[in-house]
Amino acid sequence: MKTILLTNDDGYLSKGILYLKESLSKEYNVYIVAPDRERSAISMALTLNQVLKINCIEENIYSVSGTPVDCINVAIMKVLPEPPDFIISGMNLGENISEDIYFSGTVGGAFSGYLFNIPSMAVSLMSDKSRKGIEKYNIEDSAEITKRILKKIMQFKKSDVIYNVNIPYNNNGKILITSPGMKAYKPDIIEDKDPRGRKYYWIGTGNPTYKGEKGTDVWAVKNGYISVSLIKYNLDCSKKLKEELSREFDGI
């Protein structure tokens, strides 16, 4: 039986990860090694100046006093008897499209698996946008979609990319392979005073501006499709640009 490792940035008590474990356990040997509390927007941070504590909550479920990347490292090096066949970071309650991939702890967890050369996928759920002020997610349907995608991906055994999956609340059941679109943040920074009169600041997301043509994750989820973006851990610029700059700097 194949072994699946689950992590997230919502914490090990999140409904998304617990339901996904329950669903996948019918076909796979599933472990949860996840943060002991929410660690959103922490990207690929490692804990270097504090000790990590691991608690076995119940069989195959562990909490870690660290980040999603800490969890992957600890799981592979110390918890699991052998490396997993596949890593899923999620299901995250909230989207991770476009430039979210640079900030997301969910995507960071999947990237960490990639660095271990283990096929990895980040899965994020979009809420019901029709109900203002209420975050509602279709967890059961999304778990079945995740299983369907997992079965396909495991056939390819590709570990040189990560799969970034975003599932709209009211989706049409169809899957599109996409590229990241644009999601420009203009964060709100709230300034106030605490009870002792000291200033504090609170950074919010504001109202992001979405932009994406057909074929991007932004377009896909906006039109009800399940988006699967293939992402490489490579921030290198184009060969053409490097050649142009090399000519500019020649002789300096």
Nearest to 24 by CA among 123, 172, 105, 112: 123
* pLDDT tens per residue, range 107-157: 999 999 999 999 999 999 999 875 565 678 999 999 999 999 999 999 887
Strand partners, 54: 64
As a whole number of angstroms, the distance between CA 159 and CA 120 comes to 7
98 domain residue, yes or no: yes
pLDDT tier at 223, thresholds 50, 70, 90: very high
* pLDDT tens per residue, range 93-104: 999 999 999 999
CB atoms within 10 A of CB 67: 24
Contacts (Cβ under 8 Å, ≥6 apart) of 104? 9, 40, 41, 43, 92, 96, 122, 124
61 domain residue, yes or no: yes
| CATH (domain of 60) | 3.40.1210.10
207 domain residue, yes or no: no
User: What pTM was estimated for this model as a whole?
Assistant: 0.91
Question: How much of the chain exceeds pLDDT 90, in percent?
Answer: 79
As a whole number of angstroms, the distance between CA 42 and CA 124 comes to 15
19 domain residue, yes or no: yes
167 domain residue, yes or no: yes
Task: Residue 135: give the domain boundaries.
Answer: 3-182+212-249
Nearest to 20 by CA among 205, 148, 180: 148
200 domain residue, yes or no: no
189 domain residue, yes or no: no
Q: State how many domains the chain has.
A: 1
| Mean of all residue pLDDT scores within the chain | 92
Residue type at position 219: W
pLDDT at 175 over 80: yes
188 domain residue, yes or no: no
Count of residues making up the chain: 252
Residue type at position 66: G
pLDDT tier at 252, thresholds 50, 70, 90: low
- Report the b/e string of 173-192 with b at 16+ CB within 10 A: eebbebbbbebeeeeeeeee
